[in-house]
Amino acid sequence: MSPPLGVILAGGQATRMGGGDKGLRVVAGRPLLAHVIDRLSLQVGGMALNANGDPARFSGFGLAVVADSLPDWPGPLAGVLAGMDWAAAQGAEAVVSVAADTPFFPRDLVARLQDAAAPSGLALAATRDAESGKLWRHPTFGLWPVGLRDDLRAALQGGLRKVVLWTDRHGAGLAEFDTAPFDPFFNINTPQDMAVAEKLAEMA
């Protein structure tokens, strides 16, 4: 199975961090984006960055920057769609999305998503709550077949914003990951999370 392309979702507004680009915040001496790129690059056949605004601020990372094609910050699905369109233009059949603020995602993310893919080709990452046993989906970490991009575009233009409503419609598979010794989908939303990430970087 050939590796899909990867898209790093960095199109959010980081309001809880006081604005700006979370991916440019430094953890363990390096920007979050550098951690994400290192981890993803070994799993995919090429990468792009989904971000809005002036792409020049990311020029040091050497990635194509693709902006949302829909206005008014419609959420992570717009970034997924931008990645799907970019991947389709490269002749790829699928793209894997990861979040720019989640630097410790699994090193076997792509292979596990491919193994879990539904007949539609869709799959999402998931983890199980140790106490309740509830399965939590991580919709910014998914495998997206580019053949569904027009369906997604129509859904977004129709007002859909919640990722799992669209993925449920297509029966997305789930790849379940361990949360020991830490949750690999820990994401950085607040300045306090930065301190936690510094400690996790020593374990990851």
Tell me, what's the pLDDT at 16? 43
List, in sequence order, every residue forming a beta bridge with 60; answer none if it has no partner: none
- CATH code, domain with 175: 3.90.550.10
pLDDT at position 75:
83
pLDDT of the residue at 13: 53
- β-sheet bridge partners, residue 30: 27
Rounded mean pLDDT for each run of 10 residues along the chain, 204 residues in total = 89 53 90 96 97 92 93 84 96 97 96 97 95 92 97 92 92 96 92 90 85
Q: Are 177 and 112 in contact (CB under 8 A)?
A: yes
- What is the predicted pLDDT for the residue at 11? 74
Structure tokens at 101: 């603020």
Give the model confidence (pLDDT) of 3-13 as tens digits: 899 999 997 65
pLDDT at residue 6, as a whole number:
98
The count of domains in the chain is 1
pLDDT value at residue 17: 41
| pLDDT value at residue 20 | 65
- Residue 62 CA from chain centroid, whole number: 18
Range of the domain at 183: 5-203
Q: Of how many residues is the chain composed?
A: 204
Residue 43's SS3 state is coil
